[in-house]
Structure formats: structure tokens, C-alpha cells
């Protein structure tokens, strides 16, 4: 059985059938695909989908995402379950962040066993993955564990996926007149796999983590990585030729993108001393992931995340909405925020997110992309120029630099639409350049 993101890739990139039919979504021609089912963001679709999004009923975007996730559970009922809020989690698993002995005893009494116990010394904690017997649901067990161990942190092993108009001003340029990269710049990525054989990565130093060392290149991870460090004759990311530390948390597994893999990836990036990490993934609030994010920020890392594409009235998505995370929205070539982009106090910056191309595996080697997934890596790469390794004071200075650039020529106000303003407008790779 093929993982869902491979089925979606065959449909989206092959164009043989309507993608919404493949996912079991409503057959309404005025509604777009959700941008974030599986590692492949549907922002890799061609321009007609962008036009659909521009006129779609925005209230339906979040509903379509949830319906798509429900379809995922229906396709793999032995791998997934829904929590009480309708979010997808790995079936039968509970995450325990540095649990106490009382919590572990309560887990054993409830029929849960330890399947993974992963020390995360850089994050100052350990993550224990508990699993019930076949068919056992976890919904009723969380209150039991939390009551037995009030100081412990227990939550579902949620699954995260790729985050695929007020005026935003003219859009400020990057902090330097031309993209600055090179191996001295280091940046991290938590996403699906990167196609290291793509020509845009020829001058970049790529270090991989995950999947037992095997390569599983995917469209979403490749496109996001290219926007950070890629470089070719007609294409340039925001920090071309920089060293990329890429964690693949999917590995072509339909249950990829779970919180325990995200936490392990962050632990690896902490060990490698990478200052800035891009996470173009979105999902629900999760207590274990929140603790990992807090630990990374306390070490002086900057985490950059897409705010998501559920529409302006959607509830906050994570990790972009955790305090201290740099939430990024997307704008079009006119500096107008994408209608599907999330809004709220979690938005810190905006960057190009449509009417642009990036690299993908296979042929043709470049495709149009759209969504907040593709805006976040631009901001991450700009920050990485200023923060090659974790340092709390340097991280503050790097953010201050981008705040000044984004607010150049403005009133210095912060909005729930574009945050401090637009960055990297000059880094958009127009599709006409590659024709």
C-alpha cells in the first residue's frame, strides 16, 4: 500500500485525475485542495489552483483540511486515530515528556508499554513513547496518566503535515543587496526528504538525518530546501550554497511527521549546533512538542514556521503559534497577503508565497509553488545569515535586524496580517525566468 503522499504526488504532479477526487473531498469546483495533507504540500500545483484559492470560500479551507485528514484515517485505520478535537494522531500511542515513576506505573497498569525511550540531553529531557494493545484507544488514558503524575507531560503522538488582503507595502529587500550564502551559513530543516541530486544543491553542503540514512526525496522538502540554499544559473535561494542540515521526519511512511520524530529531529539539530531551523509543517497544539520548542529557544536557536493555509479565521496552528517561534505568512508579487494564509499575533513576518517557482524532484525540475510553506524558508535563510549557531543575544540581534528591514519606510506597526512587514520580495523567482 502506497503512503498517502505518494498517491497525492501521482495525482498532483501527474495531473491525470482531479486531486480532490483522489482524496475523497467534496466535488465542488469552487473549493481548493487543502495545502497540507502529507509531506507533499499541494502548493506544488500549477497556477490554476492559485486562482481557485483566490476566490474560494475562505471558511471552507480549514474544513477541507480536516476532511482530508479524516480521509487519511479512513485509508490507514490501523495507523491513525482522531483525538477529541478531530486531530490525527498515531493510533494507540501516548508521548510522555520526562515522566515520573508514578506516571509510568499508571501507564503499565492501564496496559501501556514503553516502545521507545529516547534521551534528548541537548533538550534537557527524555521522550518516552507508550503504546497500548492492538485496538486500544488512547483518548481515555491521558486523564489517568496526568492525574497520576501531575508534574509530567502527556499527550497524543500527533501527526503534522506541510503548511502549503491588507497591503504589505512595497516589500523590503533582504538585509544585503544580493543573496549571501556559502558554507559559512548553516541552516536547519525539519520536513520531508530533499533531492540532493537536484542541480540547485550542487554548491551546498547537505547533511541528512532520519530514515536510517536512506534517502527519500519528496517534492515539499526539496522545494522548501531550494528556497533556502539552492543555486543554479537561473535560480537562487535566500542563502545560496549554505550548509543545510535536513531532517526527514516522513521517510515515505504514511505515519510520518509524528511529534516524536519532530522532537528527535530538533534534538539532532541542537547537537549539530544549527542556529536557525525552518519548520514548514503545521498541526495542533501538543504538549511534548511545546516543551521541545521551549528548550530550543532557551538554547538560543531560532525556529521559523509557516502559519498555515486554513484561512484568516482559522484557529492557530503549531508550531508557528508557540511563543517565541517566528511565524511567517505568504504574499503575492504585489505584496498582498495570500487569502488562504492564517492571521493573528503569531504572524511575525511575511515573504513571497505565490507566483513563484522552486525545485522539485523529476522532470520538469522546477514547478510553481504556493502557500505559507514556501514563505517561511526565505525568512529562515535570511535569519541564518546572522545566526550560524545558537546564541540567545545573537538571536535577538538577528531578529531586530529583520524587524528593521521589514519595517523600512513604514510606521513600525505590527499587524496580524503581515507582522512586521514583508521580507525577501526581491528573492521571488518568477516563473517567466525559467521558461
DSSP track, 177-190: SS---STT-EEEEE
Selection from 217, 191, 404 nearest residue 277 by Cα: 191
More confident residue, 384 or 2: 384
Helices in 30-166 by DSSP H: which ranges? Answer: 47-55, 59-75, 101-109, 141-148
* pLDDT mean over 135-155: 90
What's the pLDDT band for 21 if we cut at 50, 70, 90?
very low
More confident residue, 165 or 420: 420
Burial of 63 (0-12, 13-18, 19+ CB in 10 A): middle
CA–CA separation, 164 vs 286, rounded Å? 20
Coil/strand/helix, residue 115: strand
Prior bond of 319 cis (ω within 30°): yes
Percent of the chain at pLDDT > 70 equals 79
Give residue-wise pLDDT tens across range 30-49: 223 333 334 333 333 333 44
pLDDT at 177: 35
CA–CA separation, 6 vs 67, rounded Å? 19
CATH 3.30.70 for domain 80-158? yes
| CATH architecture for segment(s) 162-434 | 3-Layer(aba) Sandwich (3.40)
Catalytic residues: 191, 220, 373
Contact 380, 424 (CB under 8 A): no
* pLDDT mean over 297-326: 96
* pLDDT mean over 363-391: 96
Phi–psi pair at 315, nearest 5 degrees: -65, 160
pLDDT at 245: 98
pLDDT at 181: 57
pLDDT at 164: 56
CA–CA separation, 97 vs 291, rounded Å? 8
Contact 354, 48 (CB under 8 A): no
Name the packing angle between helices 259-271 and 287-298 (round to 10°): 10
- Would the pLDDT of 305 be above 90? yes
Prior bond of 364 cis (ω within 30°): yes
Location of C-alpha cell 522552486: 358
pLDDT at 37: 33
Query: Which 8-state DSSP code applies to residue 33?
Result: P
Which of 16-20, 100-104, 355-359, 401-405 is predicted with the least confidence, judged by mean pLDDT?
16-20
Coil/strand/helix, residue 168: coil
Contact 248, 220 (CB under 8 A): no
pLDDT at 374: 97
Coil/strand/helix, residue 290: helix
- Would the pLDDT of 7 be above 70? no
CA–CA separation, 327 vs 163, rounded Å? 12
Give residue-wise pLDDT tens across range 96-112: 999 999 999 999 999 99
pLDDT at 275: 98
* pLDDT mean over 304-331: 95
pLDDT at 418: 96
CA–CA separation, 247 vs 202, rounded Å? 19
Percent of the chain at pLDDT > 90 equals 68
CA–CA separation, 12 vs 185, rounded Å? 34
CA–CA separation, 68 vs 156, rounded Å? 20
* pLDDT mean over 271-288: 97
CA 135 vs. chain centroid, Å, equals 30
- Would the pLDDT of 343 be above 80? yes
Which of 54-58, 90-94, 147-151 is predicted with the least confidence, judged by mean pLDDT?
54-58
CA–CA separation, 322 vs 283, rounded Å? 12
Give residue-wise pLDDT tens across range 186-231: 999 999 999 999 999 999 999 999 999 899 999 999 999 999 999 9
- Would the pLDDT of 24 be above 60? no
More confident residue, 349 or 256: 349
What's the pLDDT band for 412 if we cut at 50, 70, 90?
low
pLDDT at 9: 33
Buried residues in 160-197 as b, exposed as e (16+ CB within 10 A): bbbbbbeebbebbbbbeeebbbeeebbbbbbbbbbbbe
Q: Map out the domains of the chain as residue ranges.
A: 4-75, 80-158, 162-434
* pLDDT mean over 174-185: 54
pLDDT at 420: 96
Question: What does the mean pLDDT of the chain come to?
Answer: 82
Amino acid at each position: 500500500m502506497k503512503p498517502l503522499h505518494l498517491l497525492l504526488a501521482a495525482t498532483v504532479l501527474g495531473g491525470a485525475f482531479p486531486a480532490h477526487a483522489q482524496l475523497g473531498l467534496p466535488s465542488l469546483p469552487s473549493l481548493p485542495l487543502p495545502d497540507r495533507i502529507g509531506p507533499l504540500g499541494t502548493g506544488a500545483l500549477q497556477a490554476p489552483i492559485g486562482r481557485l484559492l483566490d476566490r474560494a470560500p475562505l471558511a471552507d479551507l480549514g474544513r477541507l483540511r480536516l476532511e482530508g485528514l479524516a480521509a487519511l484515517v479512513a485509508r490507514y485505520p490501523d495507523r491513525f486515530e482522531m483525538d477529541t478535537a478531530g486531530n490525527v494522531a498515531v493510533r494507540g500511542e501516548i508521548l510522555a515528556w520526562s515522566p515520573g515513576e508514578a506516571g509510568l506505573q499508571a501507564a503499565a497498569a492501564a496496559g501501556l508499554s514503553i516502545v521507545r525511550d529516547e534521551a534528548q540531553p541537548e533538550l534537557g529531557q527524555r521522550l518516552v513513547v507508550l503504546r497500548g494493545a492492538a485496538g486500544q484507544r488512547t483518548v481515555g488514558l491521558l486523564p489517568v496518566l496526568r492525574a497520576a503524575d501531575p508534574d509530567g507531560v502527556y499527550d497524543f503522538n500527533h501527526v503534522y503535515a506541510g503548511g502549503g488582503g491588507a497591503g504589505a507595502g512595497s516589500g523590503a529587500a533582504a538585509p544585503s543587496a544580493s543573496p549571501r550564502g556559502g558554507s559559512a551559513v548553516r541552516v536547519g530543516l525539519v520536513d520531508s526528504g530533499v533531492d540532493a541530486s537536484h542541480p540547485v544543491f550542487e554548491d551546498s553542503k547537505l547533511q541528512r538525518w532520519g530514515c536510517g540514512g536512506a534517502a527519500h526525496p519528496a517534492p515539499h522538502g526539496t522545494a522548501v530546501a531550494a528556497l533556502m540554499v539552492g543555486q543554479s544559473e537561473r535560480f537562487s535561494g535566500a542563502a545560496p550554497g549554505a550548509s543545510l542540515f535536513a531532517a526527514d521526519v516522513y521517510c515515505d511512511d504514511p505515519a510520518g511527521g509524528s511529534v516524536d520524530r519532530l522532537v528527535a529531529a530538533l534534538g539532532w539539530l541542537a547537537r549539530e549546533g544549527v542556529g536557525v531551523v525552518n519548520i514548514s509543517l503545521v498541526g495542533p497544539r501538543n504538549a511534548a512538542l511545546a516543551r521541545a520548542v521551549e528548550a530550543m529557544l532557551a538554547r538560543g536557536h531560532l525556529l521559523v514556521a509557516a502559519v498555515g493555509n486554513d484561512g484568516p479565521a482559522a484557529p492557530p496552528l503549531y508550531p508557528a503559534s508557540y511563543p517565541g517561534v517566528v511565524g511567517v505568512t505568504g504574499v503575492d508579487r504585489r505584496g498582498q497577503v495570500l487569502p488562504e494564509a492564517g492571521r493573528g499575533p503569531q504572524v511575525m513576518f511575511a515573504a513571497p508565497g505565490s507566483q513563484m517557482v522552486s525545485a522539485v524532484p523529476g522532470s520538469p525540475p522546477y514547478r510553481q509553488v504556493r502557500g505559507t510553506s514556501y514563505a517561511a524558508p526565505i525568512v529562515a535563510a535570511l535569519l541564518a545569515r546572522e545566526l550560524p549557531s545558537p546564541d540567545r543575544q545573537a538571536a535577538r540581534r538577528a531578529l531586530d535586524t529583520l524587524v528593521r528591514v521589514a519595517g523600512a519606510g513604514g510606521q513600525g506597526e505590527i499587524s496580524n496580517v503581515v507582522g512586521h512587514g514583508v521580507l525577501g520580495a526581491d528573492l521571488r523567482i518568477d516563473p517567466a525566468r525559467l521558461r
